[in-house]
Amino acid sequence: MAEAGISLGSNIGDKVGTIERALEKLEHSPGIRLVSRSRLYSTEPWGDENQDRFLNACVLIETELPPGQLLQRCLDIETALGRDRSSGRRWGPRAIDLDLLFYGDITLSGPLLTLPHPHMFERAFVLVPLHEIAGDRSINGRSIAAAMQTIDRSGVTLWDSASHST
């Protein structure tokens, strides 16, 4: 089995519920075992800033699925939870987003999948939750812990249901 990292994000509707449903669907997928998950983080939008804040998390899984099939499973979960990739703007609002961050030590560059994720080390909304569950990991020769020392984390806060709204 290979270890893989997946980031999850939502900024439309029941953000917490949608992320939880996405995690349930991942966990109940044949060939996938959830190893650990981060807490939820409230984050500023990236790329297209004219939208609501996101809730983000990361998970580590073990999987028997090859990278392309794992990506397709993530896309199927997005579709099942209301995401329509054919409409909307790039980096715009979404009910759910699942991004495959890494898959073992595999490096891929293709039209549908690039591994490791090409923007992972530029995005605090990915690095902060990923560091929580895989801070000692290096991906493609880059240390998650070292990247955390240099990234601006000011727009990322631990989400607390008692004191924050989604």
Listed residue (79, 87, 92, 85) closest to 112, CA to CA: 85
Tokens for 66? Answer: 């090859």
Alpha carbon distances (Å) from 125 to 31, 64, 93, 106, 112: 27, 27, 15, 23, 22
Q: How far apart are CA 53 and CA 98, in angstroms?
A: 16
**Which residues are known catalytic residues?**
83, 94, 97, 99
Q: How far apart are CA 117 and CA 46, in angstroms?
A: 15
User: Computed from CA positions of residues 142, 148, 150, 153, in that sequence, does the dihedral angle turn out positive or negative?
Assistant: positive
8 Å CB contact between 91 and 50: no
